[in-house]
Amino acid sequence: MSIALQKIPMGSVLLLVTMIATLPDTLMGEPRAQTIKFMCGNQLEHNTTLFVPNFVATMENISDQMRIQGWGVSVRGTGPDTNYGLAQCYGDLSLLDCVLCYAEARTVLPQCFPYNGGRIFLDGCFMRAENYSFFQEYTGSWDHAVCGNRTRKNSAFQESARRAVLQAASVAPNNNGYARVELPVSGAANASAYVLADCWKTLNVNSCRACLENASASILGCLPWSEGRALNTGCFIRYSDTNFLNPIPRNSRSRGTTIIIVVAVISSVIVLIVGAIIGIYFWNNRRIEKKRKGSNDAEKLAKTLNDSSLNFKYSTLEKATASFDEANKLGQGGFGTVYKGVLPDGREIAVKRLFFNNKHRAADFYNEVNIISSVEHKNLVRLLGCSCSGPESLLVYEFLPNKSLDRFIFDPIKGKALNWEKRFDIIIGTAEGLVYLHENTKIRIIHRDIKSSNILLDSRLRAKIADFGLARSFQEDKSHISTAIAGTLGYMAPEYLAHGQLTEKADVYSFGVLLLEIVTGRQNNRSKSAEYSDSLITIAWKHFLLRKVEDLFDPNLMLHNYVNFNIKNEVQRVVHVGLLCTQEIPTLRPSMSTVLRMLVKKEEHLPTPTNPPFIDENTMELNDIMENLAHPLRHGDSGSIASVSHSSFYPR
């Protein structure tokens, strides 16, 4: 297409640009959903019971606004649990691309929990949430530039980039907070500097101007490098030597007027030529896209799903849950809310309403449904099907009346219903389910989100592993590097969190955390009390070294047959296994089949665990711990533990 355009007069090129701008949004655009910076606040939420529903409601409300206008604000709740939210796509994104970018942002921001604030900059959109009104803020301590040092540019490009940045910063405040600039580089053929500037819609003209002045001064410090982004409290600027800008979306009345004028003055012959070129271009793109997708084409998978028993009509599930009535809500997580439903035939079901509805992920979604629906085990929650035909994606599971394990072990009253025998049965059932996932001969799966709220209990309090929304199948001969970190902070293995290295040992680590929670009745996150200044893993490790593990046992166990000597040894053994599972070095952690054998064969000797991971609170990155902590500790060698600080990770 580029060759053909060189033979067409400039007037035709102008017409081509305006015609492309009027084509349907679904045929063009790039949502630019790559994360540039993700930052969380340092203040803990006040009340989880109130904060989480407010946060979810805020994201839902903003989602509705994004579909209509490309930005949104929302305020939910009262007092210290109020949630203020803002999201905005940059001005060159179409509404469709905007929705896709926001869908990515809202799956990441919940990972700041239990901190009550955070912000995320993507290359196509921005999102922020706090427990106070920040809508008028335009500057702050977090403002900074991110420079891309791929290529060192010459002085000609630097001059064009500087002029383009300053021009965008000057134009945007009086242009609804948005400007895009392209300036040719002097003396260089086909070279330009591209700039995008955006202020948040909640700012007035003066605040926008002040923000962009600060941002432009910051981003110009990135020169002579070829790429720079200013991430400021109230605005965003990017410059680049490559054209990252989307075609102008059809969202302004004045642009429509321009189209009529241009079309009227261009000859019909040129119109036909350009129309033919556009037709060939999109036909060729569609052919290439079909060839690229092949058998994984989303439309084919959607048809397959509609023709299978896995498909549920959206209207059926909406009616079954009484239009997702709050009274039917069973729980919620970072990626969806679960509701109880009753089908017309009387069957009780659990319907998971997913937060994202990204059509670009359709193929992955259908493949995942096919994978999980083929997995059957007594300790896995059965996926009955899904619905993708409505305004959002839904998953349908079997309904389990006793809900999740966390509702028992972290509740001093309900916890009394679980004596040690029942807790041990839950542990064994969960282990057997994971062994099946990891070692199934047909398809092997890493769950990625093992935690107490994903262990559901049937009517007889038997464990069933739930929520395969993050599960990934893997093959033994493939490297397990995840392109996106997903899971629940507090249960995520350090090598996965820090480097994206995903193996079955990540599930082993999560299972180890779960063991410690079941034994102690404590959650592996920070509490406001001094007792929880360390993570549960750190506390268990210190008690293990001091041979005082029994001091950690859940008081509810004292109400039952805890005094039995054999029971006491069994509980201590479970803590020992939990520490083996949460060792810092992945290769030292046992496989799930070995873990199961350790739990069942109580006469088998257990190796001494090495230290768990330690995290630096300030950088949230893995530290290089003192050398003596990097090697297996001899029993009783605890001298260096007390001085090491630990920052635990928390549920999303």
Catalytic residues: 449
Omega before 612 cis (within 30°)?
A: no
Residue 342 in tokens: 């009753």
Tokens of 490: 């507090």
* φ and ψ at residue 88, rounded to 5 degrees: -155, 135
d(CA 337, CA 350): 10
Distance between CA 652 and CA 512 in Å, rounded?
19
Sheet holding 348-354, edge to edge: 329-332, 336-342, 348-354, 394-398, 383-387
Report the largest interatomic distance among the alpha carbons of the chain, rounded to a whole angstrom.
95
Cα 244 from Cα 420, distance rounded (Å)? 59
DSSP 328: G
Token representation of residue 618: 């300030």
Alpha carbon distance 206, 399 (integer Å): 55
Angstrom distance (rounded) from CA 450 to CA 469: 11
Q: Are 93 and 203 in contact (CB under 8 A)?
A: no
CA-atom Rg of the chain in angstroms:
28
* DSSP 8-state code for residue 622: B
Write down the residue that tokens 């203020």 correspond to: 84
Question: Do residues 164 and 228 make contact, with C-beta atoms less than 8 angstroms apart?
Answer: no
Selection from 390, 395, 406, 93 nearest residue 238 by Cα: 93
DSSP 148: E
Cβ proximity of 387 and 324 under 8 Å: no
